């Protein structure tokens, strides 16, 4: 009788594929010690042998950059699947008594990467790791954070509970869709923002007569904070969501005529709202329209829409790896957030303040 007791053969790793078979060894060569401000940074002390970082298959290059920044190797992990598709995880290093960090955004394919993260946490817990911190650069299911219709789940709360049940002791996340999601966790949460990296980039561009634009009323607080750091004006686009992933732009509130406009959002998914917002700003007389966001989900026809849009440039961080089409799109620029995350990881490990990293 075939019991399928052995996992299927290991396949070469490809972070953009739905296949997750790989052995992550930490041997990949990366740019040494990247820093969000562009300056190299060397480790200030001998690494603690109990301090280890592991990565799932979702964004291994980001984990490699984080490790290069900290001057430690990426932990070795075996990731493969049984022939029926079940995920198989094995930690290939001793983690007993260790302070362990697992880097894994829950990006496409979301369910595979989430399940992989849960299994890695469970494996580390059963291997007697002292503390397990989940580093989730992109927290999937965050857009489902309340009951806005009858008989729908609060998925963000469920995912938070799953992580805690699996054995996570704390979480490090970047730009949650709604900051109150921190309250869904029953463990400590450190909430980083991609704005230090984005603000630094746009300050160097020295855009004339800059107006920061929120694409909806829900993002006004984020846009106001960004505008203050940029010493820029603020505008809002009033929109109405007609159905899931479909919006209708209504009005531009604020002065944008003859000005450089910067649309600020946390997630760009299908890019429908982004493209319509950019066109509304151009129609209102904007000279140039830029956009930035922390998480480039870019699903469906997003790349094509951006390519044909009125946008001059879209700037995103590498919390999510881009597809080949995204990497080849000249309007899209990717900034590394590895240095910011690495400094937060180091602060957590050394029990020092993380708040200094908040912009």
As annotated, the active-site residues are: 239
DSSP states of 126-173 as a string?
Answer: HTT-SEEEEEESS-TTTT--S--STT---HHHHHHHHHHHHT-SEEEE
- Whether cis (ω within 30° of 0) applies to the bond prior to 109 is yes
DSSP state for residue 73 in the 8-state scheme: P
Instruction: Characterize the bridge pairing of strands 288-296 and 313-317.
Output: parallel
Q: What is the DSSP letter of 49?
A: T
Length of the chain as a residue count: 359
Backbone angles phi, psi at 315, to 5 degrees: -110, 125
- Tell which residue, 347, 330, 331, has the closest CA to residue 339: 347
Residue carrying the six token digits 């002791």: 169
- C-alpha distances (whole Å) from 128 to each of 17, 123, 260, 270 are 31, 9, 54, 42
Q: Tell me the backbone φ, ψ of residue 299, rounded to 5 degrees.
A: -95, 165
Backbone angles phi, psi at 358, to 5 degrees: -80, 130
Strand order across the beta sheet in which 233-243 lies? 246-253, 233-243, 210-214, 260-268, 288-296, 313-317, 332-335
CA distance 248 to 350: 48
């Amino acid at each position: 009788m075939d019991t399928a007791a052995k996992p299927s053969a290991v396949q070469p790793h490809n972070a953009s594929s739905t296949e997750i078979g790989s052995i992550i060894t930490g041997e990949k060569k990366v740019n040494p010690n990247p820093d969000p401000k562009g300056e190299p940074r060397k480790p200030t002390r001998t690494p603690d042998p109990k301090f280890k970082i592991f990565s799932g298959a979702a964004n291994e290059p980001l984990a490699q950059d984080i490790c290069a920044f900290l001057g430690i190797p990426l932990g070795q992990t075996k990731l493969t699947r049984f022939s029926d598709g079940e995920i198989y995880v094995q930690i290939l290093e001793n983690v007993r008594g260790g302070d362990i960090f697992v880097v894994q955004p829950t990006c496409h394919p979301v369910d595979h990467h989430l399940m992989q993260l849960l299994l890695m946490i469970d494996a580390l817990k059963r291997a007697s790791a002292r503390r397990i911190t989940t580093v989730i650069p992109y927290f999937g299911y965050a857009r489902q954070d309340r009951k806005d219709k009858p008989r729908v789940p609060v998925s963000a709360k469920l995912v938070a509970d799953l992580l805690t049940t699996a054995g996570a002791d704390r979480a490090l996340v970047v730009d949650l869709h709604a900051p109150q999601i921190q309250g869904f966790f029953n463990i400590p949460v450190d909430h980083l923002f991609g704005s230090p990296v984005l603000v630094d980039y746009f300050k160097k561009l020295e855009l004339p007569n800059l107006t920061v634009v929120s694409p909806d009323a829900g993002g006004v607080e984020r846009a106001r904070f960004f505008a203050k750091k940029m010493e820029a004006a603020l505008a809002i686009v009033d929109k109405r969501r007609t159905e899931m992933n479909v919006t209708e732009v209504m009005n531009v509130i604020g002065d944008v005529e003859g000005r450089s406009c910067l649309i600020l959002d946390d997630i760009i998914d299908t890019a429908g709202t982004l493209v319509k917002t950019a066109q509304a700003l151009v129609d209102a007389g904007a000279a140039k329209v830029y956009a930035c966001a922390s998480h480039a989900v870019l699903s469906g026809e997003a790349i094509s829409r951006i390519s044909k849009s009125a946008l001059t440039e879209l700037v995103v961080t590498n919390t999510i790896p881009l597809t080949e089409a995204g990497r080849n799109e000249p309007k899209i620029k990717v900034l590394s957030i590895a240095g910011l995350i690495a400094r937060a990881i180091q602060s957590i490990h050394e029990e020092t303040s993380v708040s200094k990293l908040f912009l």
